[in-house]
């Protein structure tokens, strides 16, 4: 498996994963197109011989970075793909001169919270009723940005 830049032809598979992971508030295909076109954006996919297993994206305006999204196909979760995607996003943010990264995660998504905490993110606030279904979001921040590439290959 490799982590590589997302391309336009990845969008249908990425959107399929998006719908499976975030059925209540999934992004549209047009949103992914706009994100890929953004000058301050970096998006990647986890690719296993042409099969997209997950994706992630950030927005960076130095010195700050925002993890826009990260998702792994439900059938492939628990295999370290999310960690590899997050490591790549932290690296991209550092390359763009960022010294911190923030993200929002559902308060009931303990698996994602564990992934982020393991990378050095700390909860700094809660956004009540942030998601369309009324669920809260935790705001997490990582500062300084760690290098998680030890043992993680592109």
Distance between CA atoms of residues 21 and 98, nearest Å: 28
Average pLDDT over all residues of the chain: 94
Q: Is the pLDDT of residue 21 over 90?
A: yes
Predicted local distance difference test score (pLDDT) of residue 149 = 72
Instruction: Dump pLDDT digits (tens) for 91-114.
Output: 999 999 999 999 999 999 999 999
Q: Is the pLDDT of residue 151 over 70?
A: no
Backbone angles phi, psi at 4, to 5 degrees: -135, 165
The pLDDT-based confidence of 150 (bands split at 50, 70, 90) is low
Backbone angles phi, psi at 59, to 5 degrees: -120, 130
Predicted local distance difference test score (pLDDT) of residue 148 = 84
Domain contains 100: yes
Instruction: Dump pLDDT digits (tens) for 42-67.
Output: 999 999 999 999 999 999 999 999 99
- Token representation of residue 93: 């943010």
Give mean pLDDT, residues 30-36: 96
Predicted local distance difference test score (pLDDT) of residue 147 = 87
Q: Is the pLDDT of residue 25 over 80?
A: yes
Range of the domain at 75: 2-142
Domain count for the chain, please give it: 1
For the residues of 104-137, what is the DSSP string, one character each? EEETT-HHHHHHHHHTT-EEEEEETT-STTS--E
Domain contains 151: no
Give mean pLDDT, residues 20-41: 95
Q: Which residues contact 119 (CB under 8 A, 6 or more apart)?
A: 83, 86, 87, 90, 142, 146, 148
Distance between CA atoms of residues 70 and 115, nearest Å: 11
The CATH number covering residue 111 comes to: 3.40.630.30
Domain contains 149: no
In the chain, % of residues over pLDDT 70: 97
């Amino acid at each position: 498996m490799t982590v590589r830049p997302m391309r336009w032809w990845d969008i249908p598979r990425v959107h399929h994963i998006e719908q499976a992971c975030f059925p209540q508030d999934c992004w549209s295909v047009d949103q992914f197109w706009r994100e890929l076109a953004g000058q301050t954006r970096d998006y990647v996919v986890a690719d296993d011989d042409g099969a997209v297993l997950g994706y992630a994206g950030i927005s960076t305006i130095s010195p700050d970075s925002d993890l826009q999204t990260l998702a792994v196909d439900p059938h492939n979760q628990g295999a370290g793909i999310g960690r590899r995607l997050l490591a790549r996003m932290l690296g991209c943010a550092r390359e763009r001169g960022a010294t911190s990264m923030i993200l929002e995660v559902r308060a009931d998504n303990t698996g994602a919270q564990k992934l982020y905490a393991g990378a050095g993110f700390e909860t700094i606030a809660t956004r009540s009723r942030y998601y369309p279904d009324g669920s809260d979001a935790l705001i997490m921040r990582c500062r300084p940005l760690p290098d998680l590439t030890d043992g993680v290959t592109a």
